[in-house]
Structure 1
Amino acid sequence: MPTEAKAQKIEELAEKLNRASIAILMQTQGLSVKDMNDLRKKLRDVNVELSVAKNTLLRIAAERNNMTEVDKNIFNGQTTVAFGYDDEVAAAKAVVDFVSGSKIAVLKSGILSGRSLSAEQIEGIGKLKGGKNQTKAEVVGTIQGPLSNFYGLISAPLRDLAYVFQARADQLQKGEAAQ
């Protein structure tokens, strides 16, 4: 039976996991207070909240949010969680930038849409150009380009036929006007 303080922490973590679009788990054991404050400031700039959590409490919070596809093995060792609320790409980019520049912090894993992500997947998200909206725009552009070309190809014969009819109608009108 958890104590009142642990139950309250579980509720807090469950609420944060529910609100967060991405949760990135890392190990920050050994970071100085100055480095930890720098990390918090850098993450706060992109609307990411940093929290140190016990693995058991974090696992229970994930279970309460029905995150059944989350691998339970990611909850081991000392864990610091970065909760990204707006842009998954910006959150991953900020965390990956910090971890790559730090000799102490280690990227462990993450949770995105109720699924576990490996450290390599988090790094991949962090390497995407721009943010979430730019990535969406690139996907739409990739799909829209060929569709636009296909529409032009399909509509060209009908458009050309309409031009022929219009040219013939203009020709007949000029012939009547001359008589």
Structure 2
Amino acid sequence: MPTQAKAQMIEDLTVKLGRATIAILVQTQGLSVKDMNDLRKKMRAANVEFQIAKNTLLRIASERNNMNELDTSIFNGQTAIAFGFDDEVAAAKAVIDYTGNSKIVVLKSGILGGRTLSSEQVEGIGKIRGGKKQTKAEVVGTIQGPLSNVYGLISAPMRELCYVLQGRADQLGGASAE
């Protein structure tokens, strides 16, 4: 039976995992207090919530969020978790930037959409240029360009017919006025 403090921690983690667009697990064992405060500061600046959590509590919170496809083997060793609530790419970039510069902090894995991400997949998300909004804009642009061309090709015959009919109407209208 969990204590009241653990039950509250499980509830807090359950809510955060449910709200998060991405959760990135890192190992910070051996990090000094000064470096840990620096890490938290950088995560806050990137709008990423960072906390240390017990693996058992994280596993229970993931089960409560019905993350059935999640590989629970990621919950081993000392674990800190970075929750990204807005932009998956920005959160991954913040964590990747810090782990790339640190010799102690190690990227373990991630959770996206209730599925386990490997450390390589998290790094891949972090390397997407421009972030989530720019990627969406590029996809829309890629789709919109050919669609507008097709629309122009389909509407051209009708438009040309309208021009011919208008020209003939102008001719006939001009002849009857004389």
TM-score range, shorter chain: over 0.9
* Aligned-partner Cα distance in 2 for 1:148–1:35: 52
1:52-108 CA distance string (max 9 Å, x none): 111111111100111111111111111110011111111111111111111221111
Normalised TM-score (structure 2): 0.93
Aligned counterpart, 1:114: 114
Give runs of aligned pairs for residues 70-85 of structure 1, distance below 5 A: 70-85=70-85
Count how many residue pairs are aligned between Structure 1 and Structure 2: 178
> What's the CA shift for 1:27?
0.9
Aligned counterpart, 1:66: 66
* Aligned-partner Cα distance in 1 for 2:129–2:55: 32
> What's the CA shift for 1:3?
2.6
* Aligned-partner Cα distance in 1 for 2:143–2:119: 29
The CA RMSD over aligned residues, in Å, is 1.4
> What's the CA shift for 1:176?
3.2
* Aligned-partner Cα distance in 2 for 1:103–1:174: 86
Identity %: 74
Answering whether residue 156 of structure 2 is matched by residue 150 of structure 1, we say no
Aligned counterpart, 1:101: 101
Q: Which moved more, 1:147-156 or 1:129-138?
A: 129-138
Give runs of aligned pairs for residues 11-160 of structure 1, distance below 5 A: 11-160=11-160
> What's the CA shift for 1:172?
2.3
1:7-52 CA distance string (max 9 Å, x none): 2221221121112111100111122222221211111112211111
Aligned counterpart, 1:2: 2
> What's the CA shift for 1:135?
1.6
* Aligned-partner Cα distance in 2 for 1:99–1:49: 16
> What 5-or-longer segments of structure 2 have no aligned partner?
none
* Aligned-partner Cα distance in 1 for 2:152–2:101: 49
* Aligned-partner Cα distance in 1 for 2:152–2:32: 61
DSSP-derived class of the 2:77 partner: coil
* Aligned-partner Cα distance in 2 for 1:134–1:41: 26
Q: Name the aligned partner's letter for residue 59 of structure 1.
A: R
Normalised TM-score (structure 1): 0.93
* Aligned-partner Cα distance in 2 for 1:170–1:44: 69
Give runs of aligned pairs for residues 158-177 of structure 1, distance below 5 A: 158-177=158-177
